[in-house]
């Protein structure tokens, strides 16, 4: 082979080698994009630690659902006042309230039914000694004594009703089983029974009208 042919073959081989090197360089990412192998491994380890259950590394909590505005918790209505009762006694003469009686009346004045404007019913009683009419008058005086005490405590007398029952409804028998007198029992029968009723609820029609007036800002027209 002539020298010119040898040179031509060498040039071809050199060009092929240069082309292969160029192709290899294009297929590999730049050095700055490849990064360090140790850094890549550290990132992988961190991802495994976050995903592993029971790991101390704080994981990202999933988003929590939010209640819809139209779904609200039910509002519990306040409990309506209930009726209150008490039995108040008097001294041996049947005229002066005992300390226990005044304490019971004070508790009734502070009860929810009384604070809400409930009505008071005062039923006076007597023992069986003496004339029926006299016992009836005595039972009324006892009920009026309780009324006056409650009025001094701020209860409007218009809210109180006095009922005299005399000796007709004893709390306990006035005598022993052998028929002898029982002074302790008679003193228990000289009493006043107090009942406080809760105020009656407003009619539904009235409540609806008040609600409409509040919504429109109009007050109910006065009647003539």
Residue 104 half-sphere exposure, CB side, CA atoms within 13 Å? Answer: 19
* pTM (2 d.p.): 0.58
pLDDT tops 90 at residue 46: no
In a domain, 116, yes or no: yes
Instruction: Write out the residue range of the structural domain in which residue 164 sits.
Output: 84-196
Higher confidence at residue 90 or residue 24? 90
In a domain, 11, yes or no: no
90-125: b (≥16 Cβ within 10 Å) or e: beeebeebeeebeebbeebbebebbeeebbbbbbbb
In a domain, 156, yes or no: yes
Q: What is the mean pLDDT of residues 121-132?
A: 95
Domain containing residue 96: CATH number: 3.30.1330.60
In a domain, 99, yes or no: yes
pLDDT tops 60 at residue 45: no
**Comparing C-alpha atoms, which of 124, 159, 166, 126 is closest to residue 144?**
124
pLDDT tens digits for range 157-179:
999 999 999 999 999 999 999 99
In a domain, 155, yes or no: yes
In a domain, 117, yes or no: yes
pLDDT tops 60 at residue 191: yes
In a domain, 74, yes or no: no
In a domain, 62, yes or no: no
Least-confidence region, from 13-27, 88-102, 138-152: 13-27
pLDDT tens digits for range 136-156:
999 999 999 999 999 999 999
Number of domains composing the chain: 1
């Amino acid at each position: 082979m002539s020298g010119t042919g040898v040179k031509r073959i060498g040039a071809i081989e050199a060009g092929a080698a240069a082309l292969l090197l160029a192709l290899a360089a294009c297929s590999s990412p730049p050095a700055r994009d490849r990064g360090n192998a140790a850094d890549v491994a550290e990132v992988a380890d961190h991802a495994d630690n976050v995903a592993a259950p029971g790991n101390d590394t704080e994981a990202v909590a999933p988003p929590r659902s939010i209640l819809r505005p139209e779904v609200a918790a039910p509002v519990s209505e306040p409990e309506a006042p209930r009726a209150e009762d008490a039995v108040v006694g008097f001294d041996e003469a049947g005229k002066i309230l005992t300390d226990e009686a005044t304490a019971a009346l004070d508790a009734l004045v502070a009860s929810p039914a009384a604070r809400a404007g409930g009505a008071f019913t005062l039923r006076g009683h007597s023992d069986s000694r003496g004339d029926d009419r006299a016992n009836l008058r005595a039972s009324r005086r006892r009920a009026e004594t309780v009324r006056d005490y409650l009025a001094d405590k701020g209860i409007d007398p218009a809210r109180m009703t006095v009922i005299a029952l005399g000796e007709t409804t004893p709390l306990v028998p006035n005598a022993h089983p052998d028929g002898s007198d029982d002074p302790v029992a008679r003193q228990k029968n000289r009493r006043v029974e107090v009942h406080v009723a809760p105020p009656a609820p407003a009619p539904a029609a009235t409540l609806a009208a008040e609600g409409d007036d509040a919504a429109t800002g109009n007050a109910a027209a006065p009647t003539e």
